[in-house]
Amino acid sequence: MRVKCTHPGLTEELRSHLDAKAIECIADLGMSDCPCLERGLNYAVYGLDRWEGLDGYYIADSEFWRFPTWYPAALFQTTDPRPSRYWMPSVWAKPGSAGVAAMLIPPCAADQGYLEDLIDGEASAVAAFKHYRELMDLEFVDDPARQLAAHLQDNWVQCPSCDDAWEVKDRISEMVRCPYCTAVWLSPFRIVGRVKG
């Protein structure tokens, strides 16, 4: 799933579309202004759940890129509604509630203390998020105008930027990352949502 930030906080335009309870909840969560979110930027969604009656997404923003932060869904427009193949269903116990359904990356779904470990910088939690973030960042196209990597033969592709070639192990993801220069390209194995060859 991918979303685009349309409101980096409680803008007047957003207030006109929300009820008073949602506005109060966003303000109580300290999200009246979210300078870490960039209007118009496309974000991968690492998980979703509901907090205080608001649907929300776990996003890695410009300040807290090491771990995902929960933001109200009202701040975003969905650009790709497909669920991540890496999400797992979970029920989280939230203070004052019987629990909420959530879709989260496996370590987070399995252990409610995982996010705390991640924020604290525990090595195994950081490594697990880095692994899933790398997979999920390439899962769905973030910019349809992105250039296509050159298909050489079999599973081999070539970077249009540095000319390095590598073997692609994941033919399902819609984008590929050059292991040499780290540039991201559209995968030549994906054409209009279908796996090629």
The reported pLDDT for the residue numbered 3 is: 95
Q: Indicate the pTM of the whole model.
A: 0.84
Of 106, 116, 119, 103, the residue nearest 45 (C-alpha) = 103
The reported pLDDT for the residue numbered 192 is: 46
d(CA 36, CA 101): 26
d(CA 32, CA 61): 16
Residues of the chain short of pLDDT 70, as ranges, are 29, 64-65, 94-99, 191-197
The reported pLDDT for the residue numbered 195 is: 46
The reported pLDDT for the residue numbered 191 is: 60
d(CA 61, CA 43): 8
d(CA 191, CA 126): 33
The reported pLDDT for the residue numbered 51 is: 74
Long-range contacts of 114-119 (CB under 8 A, 24+ apart): 115/67, 115/68, 118/66, 118/67, 119/67
